Amino acid sequence: MTEKAWGIAVYALLQNNEGKCLFLRRSPDSKTNPGKWEPPGGKLDPGERLDEALKREVFEEAGLQISVRRLLGAIEYEVPAVKVACLIMEGNLVTEDVKLSSEHDSYRWVQPSEMHQLDLATQFRRFFAESQGNVMPE
């Protein structure tokens, strides 16, 4: 049996000055998880640095500039071609006006205690459900 290769992805949990975190809803025509909610983020391009990948994805998907603060945790999931080790990082907002790409059709700022009520993309359910809103302990 051939082993699947492992890729790396990185997603950002971004809190606004009301303490709410940004989630985006995947477009209805997405191949994976259409209509489901997720934080901004995505796969690292080959040779791309972790913080650069996160900043690029957040800017592409939400039009926001951020700085990368710290690691919150990691999850594993599988797509047809690869297994993915996915890092979830806390970012600080440098700009605040969200501008979506065609990948998502809606966004919400959500209290950490209400994250588990979102219809989240499969891979994020356990991380945000288990945390029960306590995703950002220092």
Residues that bind a copy of itself (CB under 8 A): 3, 5-8, 46-47, 49-51, 67-68, 70-71, 73-76, 85, 87, 89
Q: Which helix (H) or strand (E) holds 55?
A: helix 50-62
In the complex with a copy of itself, the residue whose CB is nearer, 5 or 28, is 5
DSSP 7-52: EEEEEEEEB-TTS-EEEEEEPTT-SSSTT-EE-SEEEPPTT--HHH
Q: Which is nearer to a copy of itself, 28 or 81 (CB)?
A: 81
Q: Which is nearer to a copy of itself, 12 or 110 (CB)?
A: 12
Q: Residue 64 Cβ, how far from a copy of itself at the closest point, in Å? A: 16
Say if CB 23 and CB 111 are below 8 A apart.
no
Report in angstroms how near the CB of residue 49 gets to a copy of itself at its nearest.
6
